[in-house]
Structure 1
Amino acid sequence: MLKRIKLNIIISLMFVAATFQLQAQDLSQIGKGKALKVNGGISLSQLYNTAFGGELNREPYSYYLNGNINFSIYGLSIPLSFNFSNEQFGYSQPFNQYGISPTYEWITLQAGYTSMSFSPYTLSGHLFLGGGVQLRPDGPWSVSAMAGRLQKAIAVDTAVGNQPAFHRFGYGSKVDYQGNGYNLNFTFFKSKDDPSTATNLTDSMEVFPEENLVLGIGGSTTLFKRVALNFEYANSAISRDIRSEGVERGTFQPFPSGGALFEHRLSTAYHQAFKTGVNYGGNGYNIGLGYERVDPGYKTHGAYFFNNDLENITVNGGTQLFKSKLSISTNVGLQRDNLNDAKINQMTRWIGAINSNWTVSKKLNVSASYSNFQTYTVIRSQFEDINNIDPLRPIDTLNFTQISQSINASSNYILKADESRVQSLNLNLSVQQSSDEQSGEEQPTGSKFYNSNIGFSNQWKELGLNIFTSINASWQEAGEINNTTLGPVLSVNKSMFEKKLRLSLTSAFNNSYSQSDLTNTVFNCRLSAAYQYKEKHNISFTNAFLARNTPQDDGSTNKSTQLNGTLTYTYQF
C-alpha cells in the first residue's frame, strides 16, 4: 500500500508539472538574488468514524494526504499541488488552468487562462483563453488590450441533455488618460460566435450564434477640492442571430454602418447603460447623489451576469458626532423597473441602508445596521456550525435566498480589564426577511429568520486560559410553519508551553421545535489539541461526540450517536 501511495504521488507531480500555472511575475528580477527558491507544505490526516443507532454515511477509516510546492526561479512562480486518499486521488493546480503574467518595468503581459476588467458595462472579469497586455509608462497615458476565447464550443448531446454553446472569440482595448485633477478613459470590446462550432443544433433549442460590440467612456474629476464627480457610459450592440439578414441603420447609433467591425442585422438591438455620482466632503460629514440607468435587455459578452431594466436614484451621506464617538452612514434611494413599459406590472420601491457604530465609553461599544436592498445571500442557522462535528464536511452554501430586509445589532461590554484578567459580555441579534411581490402585493412565500446569542467571556492572560459561555437561539417563520432551536454553549481554551500547545473543549446542548413540538435534542462535545514544533511542524488531534434524540409519532424516541476523530500532521518548508 505504501509503495502504491508513493507511486501515485510521483505520477501526480509529473503530470502537474506538465500543466503548471504561472502567475504575475516581475522579469526585472532576472539575474538578481537567489536563482531558485522552493517552499510549500505537506499534510497527512487520518479520520475514524463510528455511529450507533443510525447509519454511518462515511468510511469508518479514511486518510488524506495533501501537499503543495512552489518553485520560484528569479521571481517566476510555478505552484503545484496534489492530494491522495483511500477514497479518491487527484492532482490540481489553482483553478485547474494555466496562465502566465510576466512583468517588466511598466509592461505586463498575460497569456493562457486569465481575466481582465475594463469597466463594469463592457469587459468585467470574464475568464478567457488568450493573451493580454497592460502598458503603464510614466506619464498620463495607459493602455490595456486583450484577445482570446471567451466561450468553448459545446456540441449537442441528447443523451446527457447538456446546454450547447458556440465557440466565442473576443478582443478589446482600453485607453486611459490621467490629467491634472481628472481622469478620462475609452473602452472598446468586440466578440463573435462561430456558427460552425455547435453541431446538430435546431432552432427549437433557442441557442443562436451572437455578435456583440460595446463602446464605453468614463471619467472622474475633483472640483474645489471637495466635490468629486464620476460617470460611466456604455452602448452595447448585440445581434441575437448573426445568420439573420443584414440591414442599414434606421436610427442613429454610435457604430459604423456595415463593414468588418459590426454588421447591422434584423436581430440587432442597441442598449445603453449609464451611471454617475457626485460627492461632497465637508468637515466631519459627506453627502452624495447617485444615478444609474440600465436599459431593458442590456447585455455584454464581457460579463457573466448583468442586472438590467433598472433605474436607481440614491442619496448617501455620513457623519461623525460626539467627538467622533458616533459614526453614521446612510444610503437611501428610489428604484424602479419596466423602463420601456413592456411589462404588465412595474416595481417601484424605496431602498435604503443605514449603519452606525457608537463608542459609548471605554467599556461599551454598540453597532447596528439596517438595509432593504435586494441581494442574494446564504441564510443558515448558527446551529449548523454548532452541531457539525465533522471537520471535513462542508457546510451547505447553496441555500441562496433573496433578502428584502435585514437588521443586525451587536454590543460588547467590558466588565473588567486589567493586566491579568479580561471579562466581557457580548450580545448579537440578526433579523432577515425575504418576500415575494406580485402586482404590488406580498405573497405568502416569504420567510423570516432570527439569530440571537448572548455570551460571557472570561480570560486569564497569564494562565493562557479563556472560558466562554453563551446562550443561542434561532427562529424561522415560513408561512404558517415556525421552527425554533435554542440551547447553551460552553467553550474552554488553554495555551501551554509558551503557546506551543493549545487545548480546546467545546460542548453544546440544543433543542429544536416545530410548531412548539419537540423534534430534536442534540448534545455534542468536541475536544481538540494542537502542538507546534520548531515553527515548521504541527500536530493536531480532534475528537468529537454527538448524540441526537428524535421523538417519533408513536411516542418512541429514535436515538443515534456519532463519534469521530481526526489526527493531522503538517510540515511547512
Structure 2
Amino acid sequence: MKHPLHLFLRFTAAALLLSGAAVTRAQDLATLAQQKPVTLTGALDLRTVFYNYSGNITARRKPFSYVLSGSPTVNIYGVAVPLDFVLSEQDRAVRQPFNQFGLSPTYKWATAHLGYRNLSWSPFTLAGHTMLGAGVELNPGKFRFGLMVGRFARATAVDATTGLTAPFAFSRRGYALKLGVGAPEKSFIDVTLVKGRDDSTSVSATDRLAAGNTGALVQPAENLAVGLGGRLGLGKDKYWFVEGDGAISLFTRRLGSRLQLEKSNLPGIVNSTFGKLIDINGSTEAYTAWQAGAGYSKNGRGLKVRYRRISPGYQSMGAYFFQDDLENLTLAPSFALFKQKLRLSGNLGVQQDNLRSQKQLTSRRIIGSVSASAELSERLGIDLNYTNFTTDQQQAGAVQVADSFRLAQTTQSFSVAPRYVLMGDHYGHAVLLSVDRSTLRGLGSSVLDKLSEFTSLNAFLNYQLTLMGPRLTLGATYNYTELSLSQGADLNRGLQLSADRPFLKQDALRLGLRGSWLSARRFGEPGRIVGGGVRATYRAGRHHSFRLDAAYTARQPDQDTPSNPRYTETRGEIGYGFTL
C-alpha cells in the first residue's frame, strides 16, 4: 500500500483538477488580492483491524481488514472544495475501488455537487438519497434553486457462483429539482420534483435468466414525485407558526406495459399535466403523502399540533423507505420553568393504518411520552422519561377474524437517571445512576398474546474519580440486565473497571485500561463473560497521531451448548491519523 500521506495529496490534487473550471467562474476579482491562493485542511485516517477467535461460533469479521478514509477541503481564492472518500479491502474486486467519492465546492451563495452526494430537499420527494452525478444549488438572498442529475442506483446482477444478489436490479437514473423563496427559520415556500427511470438495457438477458422465477417480478419502473412545503411565521417575532409538506407520486411499475390506463384511475388534471413528464399506462398508480403542523415556540416553551398521512404504497425514487399506510395526530407541549432549571416536554397522539380498508384488520395506537429534566442544585440533577404505546387491531368491514388472531398490546417504558457531580481543587467525583424498565403486555387472553410478552430491566451505576495532581481518572460501573420472556429469562450482572491517564508534555501520550467481569444466565444456563483491553494514543506534533487498541473477550458458560457456546475473541486495531 502507498503511504497514506502520499494518497492524501494525490486525492487533493484530483480535487483541484475536478474543480478547476468551477473556480474560474466563481472568483471575486475585487477581493482576489486579499485572499490566499490555496489552503488545504482536513483529515486522513488509516485503520487496520486484526481478529481471531476460538470456539463453536462463526467468525464475526475477517482476520484482517483495513479502512482508509479522508475528508480534505481545498480552498482556492475563497472557493471551498470539500471531498470525502473511503477505501477498504472489501471492494478489491470492484474496478473503481472507492466506496464513495464526491465533492461540493462552495463560493458565497453557490454550491456545486460532483460525484456521490446525499441530499434532502423534502421529506416526501428527495429525502436523504445518495446520487452519483452532478448538480448545483444557488441561494442568492431569499431565493433558492437546486438541480441534481445522475444515477439513483446502479444495476446489480446475480452472482452465478454464490447467488448472493437475487433478484437483480436495473440501473436507475434521473434528476431532482428544487425552487424556493423565503427564510427557512421564519417563512418560506419550496417546490421540489424528483424524476427517476430504470434502464431496461442495464441488465443482460443472461442475468435475468439467472435470477429464475424471482427475476420475472423485477420490471423496469418510472417515478415522478412532486412536493410542496412551507412555513409561515406569525406575529411580530414569528413565535407562532404554521408549516406543512405534501407530495404526489406517480409510479409506473412496468414500463412498456400494453395495459391501458382507464380515465377513472387518475384525476384528469393529473393525467394532463404530469402525464407529459412520465409514461402512464395500466401499471401507473398515484400516491399522496402530507403533513401539517401549527404551534408556538419561545425560550423552551411551546405547543405544537401535527397531523401526518401517508397513503398505502407511497414511494419515491428519491428516498429509500417510507412507513406508509398510516395517519397520526400528535400534540407536543414543552415547558421551561425556574430559569430553565426545570424542563418538561411531552407527546400525545393517536395513529392508525388501513386507510383504504384493504386489510382485514385495522391497527390503532395510542402514543404518549413525557420527559423531565431538573437541575436541583449545582451538583445534583435528574432526568425522567416515560413512554406508552398501545396497539389494538380491530376487525375491518365484514371480514370475520378469530379472536386468536386479534392483536391488542401495550408497551411501556420508564427510566430515571439521577446524577451527582462534585468538583474540588484536587479531586472530582461524579455519580450517575440509570434505571430503565420496559414491558410489553398483551391485552387478550390467547396463547399468542402471552408468547409476545416480555419485561426488560436495565440498570447501571457509574462512579468516576478524577485526581487532579497525577491527572488520573478511575471509573467503576455496575451493570444489571434482565430480560424475561415466556420461554425463560436472560440475566447479566457484573462490574467494569477503567483507568485513564495522560503522559509526556502537553499530554501527547494517553493510556487507558479496562476490564470487566459479568455473571450471565441464559435461559437457566449459568456462565461468565470476562473481558479486558488496553488503548494507547500518541500525538506526534500538530499533524500526526497514532493509536493502538487491543481487546479480549471470553464467554465461559458452565455447559458448552449450541444455544450458549463457549468461545474467545481477540481484536486488535492499529490506527494512524493525519490532520492539516
Asked if 2 retains the 8 angstrom alpha-carbon contact of 1:70 and 1:80, the reply is: no
- 1:247 Cα offset (Å): 3.5
Q: Corresponding residue for 2:435? A: 429
Q: Corresponding residue for 2:231? A: 220
Q: More displaced, 11-20 or 95-104?
A: 11-20
Asked if 1 retains the 8 angstrom alpha-carbon contact of 2:225 and 2:247, the reply is: yes
Q: Corresponding residue for 1:418? A: 424
For structure 2, the 5+ residue unaligned runs are 391-409
Asked if 1 retains the 8 angstrom alpha-carbon contact of 2:46 and 2:67, the reply is: yes
- 1:191 Cα offset (Å): 2.5
Is 1:311 the equivalent of 2:327? yes
CA-based RMSD: 4.5
Q: More displaced, 561-570 or 31-40?
A: 561-570
Deviations 1:184-242 (A, max 9, x none): 22222322334444444588632222222222222111222432100112112222223
Partner amino acid, structure 1, of 2:283: S
Deviations 1:524-553 (A, max 9, x none): 343444443434454555565555543138
Is 1:361 the equivalent of 2:364? no
CA 62–127 in structure 1, closer or farther in 2 if over 3 Å, else same = closer
Q: How many angstroms apart in 1 are the aligned matches of 2:193 and 2:133?
A: 17
Q: Corresponding residue for 1:476? A: 483
Is 1:170 the equivalent of 2:182? no
Q: Corresponding residue for 2:285? A: 269
CA 248–18 in structure 1, closer or farther in 2 if over 3 Å, else same = farther
Asked if 1 retains the 8 angstrom alpha-carbon contact of 2:52 and 2:63, the reply is: yes
Q: How many angstroms apart in 1 are the aligned matches of 2:292 and 2:92?
A: 51
Q: Corresponding residue for 1:231? A: 244
Out of 459, 469, 482, the position equivalent to 1:462 is 469
Is 1:408 the equivalent of 2:415? yes
Is 1:190 the equivalent of 2:201? no
Q: How many angstroms apart in 2 are the aligned matches of 1:148 and 1:436?
A: 49
TM-score w.r.t. length of structure 2: 0.77
Asked if 1 retains the 8 angstrom alpha-carbon contact of 2:222 and 2:279, the reply is: no
CA 65–413 in structure 1, closer or farther in 2 if over 3 Å, else same = closer
Deviations 1:475-521 (A, max 9, x none): 12232210101112222223333533333332222111134542x22
CA 254–100 in structure 1, closer or farther in 2 if over 3 Å, else same = farther
Asked if 1 retains the 8 angstrom alpha-carbon contact of 2:250 and 2:284, the reply is: yes
CA 268–79 in structure 1, closer or farther in 2 if over 3 Å, else same = closer
Asked if 1 retains the 8 angstrom alpha-carbon contact of 2:12 and 2:74, the reply is: no
Provide the secondary structure at the position in 2 that maps to 1:347.
strand
Deviations 1:280-326 (A, max 9, x none): 23686311111111111222122111111101000010112344321
Asked if 2 retains the 8 angstrom alpha-carbon contact of 1:82 and 1:91, the reply is: no
Deviations 1:261-289 (A, max 9, x none): 23442222222111100012368631111
Out of 222, 227, 235, the position equivalent to 1:211 is 222
Q: How many angstroms apart in 2 are the aligned matches of 1:69 and 1:144?
A: 24
- 1:48 Cα offset (Å): 9.1
| Structure 1 segment 315-464 matched on structure 2, within 5 A | 315-372=331-388, 405-414=412-421, 416-433=422-439, 442=449, 444-464=451-471
Partner amino acid, structure 1, of 2:174: G
| Structure 1 segment 523-562 matched on structure 2, within 5 A | 523-541=530-548, 548-552=555-559
Q: Corresponding residue for 1:399? A: none
Q: Corresponding residue for 1:504? A: 512
Partner amino acid, structure 1, of 2:434: N
Partner amino acid, structure 1, of 2:106: T
Structure with bigger helix share is 2
Q: Corresponding residue for 2:394? A: none
Q: How many angstroms apart in 2 are the aligned matches of 1:352 and 1:24?
A: 50
Asked if 2 retains the 8 angstrom alpha-carbon contact of 1:249 and 1:264, the reply is: no
Q: Corresponding residue for 1:145? A: 147
- 1:405 Cα offset (Å): 4.4
Provide the secondary structure at the position in 2 that maps to 1:512.
strand
Q: How many angstroms apart in 1 are the aligned matches of 2:100 and 2:565?
A: 48
Partner amino acid, structure 2, of 1:151: A
Q: How many angstroms apart in 2 are the aligned matches of 1:54 and 1:456?
A: 36
Out of 303, 313, 326, the position equivalent to 1:297 is 313
- 1:244 Cα offset (Å): 3.3
Q: How many angstroms apart in 1 are the aligned matches of 2:476 and 2:150?
A: 56
For structure 1, the 5+ residue unaligned runs are 375-402
Q: Corresponding residue for 1:382? A: none
- 1:47 Cα offset (Å): 6.1
Asked if 2 retains the 8 angstrom alpha-carbon contact of 1:156 and 1:199, the reply is: no
Q: How many angstroms apart in 1 are the aligned matches of 2:359 and 2:475?
A: 55
Provide the secondary structure at the position in 2 that maps to 1:257.
helix
Is 1:106 the equivalent of 2:106? no
Q: Corresponding residue for 2:260? A: 246
Deviations 1:421-455 (A, max 9, x none): 21232101233456899999746235443321112
Partner amino acid, structure 1, of 2:345: S
Asked if 1 retains the 8 angstrom alpha-carbon contact of 2:87 and 2:97, the reply is: no
TM-score w.r.t. length of structure 1: 0.77
Provide the secondary structure at the position in 1 that maps to 2:270.
coil
CA 44–367 in structure 1, closer or farther in 2 if over 3 Å, else same = closer
Asked if 1 retains the 8 angstrom alpha-carbon contact of 2:294 and 2:305, the reply is: yes
Deviations 1:99-144 (A, max 9, x none): 3433343332323333433311112222223332222223x43222
- 1:570 Cα offset (Å): 5.6
Asked if 2 retains the 8 angstrom alpha-carbon contact of 1:49 and 1:58, the reply is: no
Q: How many angstroms apart in 2 are the aligned matches of 1:280 and 1:69?
A: 39
- 1:522 Cα offset (Å): 3.1
Q: How many angstroms apart in 2 are the aligned matches of 1:128 and 1:60?
A: 30
Asked if 2 retains the 8 angstrom alpha-carbon contact of 1:102 and 1:108, the reply is: yes
Aligned length: 532
Q: How many angstroms apart in 2 are the aligned matches of 1:540 and 1:553?
A: 36
- 1:35 Cα offset (Å): 3.2
CA 551–173 in structure 1, closer or farther in 2 if over 3 Å, else same = same
Partner amino acid, structure 2, of 1:172: A
Q: How many angstroms apart in 1 are the aligned matches of 2:175 and 2:64?
A: 48
Asked if 1 retains the 8 angstrom alpha-carbon contact of 2:560 and 2:566, the reply is: no
